[in-house]
């Protein structure tokens, strides 16, 4: 999935605003770097938008350039919004992935309808403790994670599933169900949990078999919270998308996958067959 157009636009506008302030100040990039204790390459990357400047870095630049208050407020707000929407894995690890899970839980608690599509992994709200431990224990993407705390935070938000005032619609691919996370016992328990949760009145679980033709390649997983936000994760980043056009696009994609999926007894029979394969 490409980076949303609105994100690229805001990043470019922030970078150009910072570049223009330096030009007005008469300082060179080398001079700015020396005054802030940065490398000249960092100044260049910020001004060209190759990196998203942190809120702290933007404030340091604004302190140096001393722009009018309305310009300062506009650039500070843009930097904060961009950093809220684009979090690198390094940033998430530094903060603690258990805290990230707690934030996700708080966001979910303010949501009435959650739609989640996952092509390679069981959705977090549906994971067993053993499966979640396998996810958070991955050596490359989850290195230095406090696994126990991350798992506990993820499981804590699963109580939302039993709130009849909320609606959940999950679509998972056959690939997500076959991908081994843990041993055979872990996979059997996970598949059994999916079958059980699919019987809840407020939970719809769709399974997308390999045998079904879908006219769209499932490039990544995503979760739509009501119709206000889309959460997208990659190996190294987490993005929150709030652009209405991008949200509508994800809702259309979700519905396309949902229409091709199987549900109810048919889905549970499919899960039972997969469970037998792990005997």
> CA-to-CA distance for 108 and 153, rounded, in angstroms?
13
**CA distances from residue 142 to 108, 132, 239 in whole angstroms, order as listed:** 23, 12, 17
Is residue 5 over pLDDT 60?
Answer: no
Choose the weakest-confidence range: 140-149, 210-219, 227-236, 252-261: 140-149
What is the pLDDT at residue 2? 40
Is residue 24 over pLDDT 70?
Answer: yes
Residue with tokens 């979700």: 254
User: Residue 75 has which token pair?
Assistant: 């650039």
Dihedral in degrees, nearest 10, Cα atoms 270, 275, 277, 279: -160
What is the pLDDT at residue 146? 77
Provide φ and ψ at 117, rounded to 5°: -115, 130
How much is the average pLDDT of 159-184?
95
Residue with tokens 């979640």: 132
CB 51, CB 11: distance < 8 Å: no
Between 104 and 35, the higher pLDDT residue: 35
Is residue 238 over pLDDT 80?
Answer: no
**CA distances from residue 195 to 28, 52, 188, 190, 200 in whole angstroms, order as listed:** 63, 42, 11, 9, 10
Q: What is the pLDDT of residues 138-156, one digit of tens each?
A: 776 555 567 888 888 888 8
Is residue 4 over pLDDT 60?
Answer: no
Q: List helix spans (H) across 5-88.
A: 5-25, 29-36, 40-48, 55-65, 69-85
What is the pLDDT at residue 1? 36
Task: Please report the domains of the chain, with CATH numbers, ordered by start residue.
Answer: 5-86 (1.10.260.40), 96-277 (3.30.870)
The pLDDT mean for the chain works out to 86
> CA-to-CA distance for 130 and 186, rounded, in angstroms?
6
How much is the average pLDDT of 204-227?
92
What is the pLDDT at residue 216? 87
CB 75, CB 53: distance < 8 Å: no
What is the pLDDT at residue 99? 56
CB 239, CB 4: distance < 8 Å: yes
Band of pLDDT at residue 89, cut at 50, 70 and 90 = very low
What is the pLDDT at residue 79? 85
Band of pLDDT at residue 36, cut at 50, 70 and 90 = very high
How much is the average pLDDT of 191-206?
97
> CA-to-CA distance for 244 and 111, rounded, in angstroms?
17
> CA-to-CA distance for 78 and 85, rounded, in angstroms?
11
Residue with tokens 């080398």: 30
- Reported as half-sphere exposure (CB side, CA atoms, 13 A), residue 71 has a value of 14
What is the pLDDT at residue 37? 94
Percentage of the chain beyond pLDDT 70 is 85
Band of pLDDT at residue 101, cut at 50, 70 and 90 = low
> Going by DSSP bridges, is the β-strand pair 167-173/237-241 parallel, antiparallel, or unpaired?
unpaired
What is the pLDDT at residue 144? 53
User: Residue 245 has which token pair?
Assistant: 């056009």
Q: Which residues contact residue 83 at a Cβ distance below 8 angstroms, ignoring those fewer than 6 apart?
A: 52, 54, 55
């Amino acid at each position: 999935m490409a980076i949303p157009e609105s994100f690229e636009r805001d990043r470019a506008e922030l970078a150009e605003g910072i570049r223009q302030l330096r030009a007005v100040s008469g300082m060179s990039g080398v001079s700015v770097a020396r005054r802030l204790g940065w490398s000249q390459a960092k100044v260049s990357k910020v001004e060209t938008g190759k990196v998203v400047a942190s809120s702290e870095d933007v404030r340091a630049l604004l302190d140096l350039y001393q722009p009018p208050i309305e310009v300062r407020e506009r650039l500070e707000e843009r930097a904060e919004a961009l950093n809220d929407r684009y979090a690198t894995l390094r940033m998430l690890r530094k903060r603690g992935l258990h805290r990230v899970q707690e934030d996700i839980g708080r966001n979910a608690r303010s949501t009435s309808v959650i739609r989640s599509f996952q092509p390679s992994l069981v959705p977090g709200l549906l994971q067993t403790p053993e499966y979640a431990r396998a996810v958070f224990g991955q050596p490359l993407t989850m290195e230095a994670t406090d696994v126990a705390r991350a798992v506990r935070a993820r499981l804590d938000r699963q109580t939302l599933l039993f709130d009849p005032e909320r609606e959940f619609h999950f679509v998972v691919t056959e690939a997500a169900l076959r991908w081994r996370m843990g041993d055979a016992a872990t996979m059997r328990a996970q598949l059994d949990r999916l079958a059980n949760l699919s019987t809840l009145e407020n939970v719809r679980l769709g399974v997308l078999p390999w045998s079904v033709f879908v006219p769209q390649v499932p490039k990544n997983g995503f979760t739509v919270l009501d119709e206000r936000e889309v959460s997208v994760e990659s190996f190294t980043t987490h993005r929150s998308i709030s652009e209405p056009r991008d949200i509508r696009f994800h809702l259309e994609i979700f519905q396309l996958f949902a229409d091709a999926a199987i549900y109810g007894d048919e889905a549970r029979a499919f899960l039972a067959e997969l469970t037998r394969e792990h005997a």
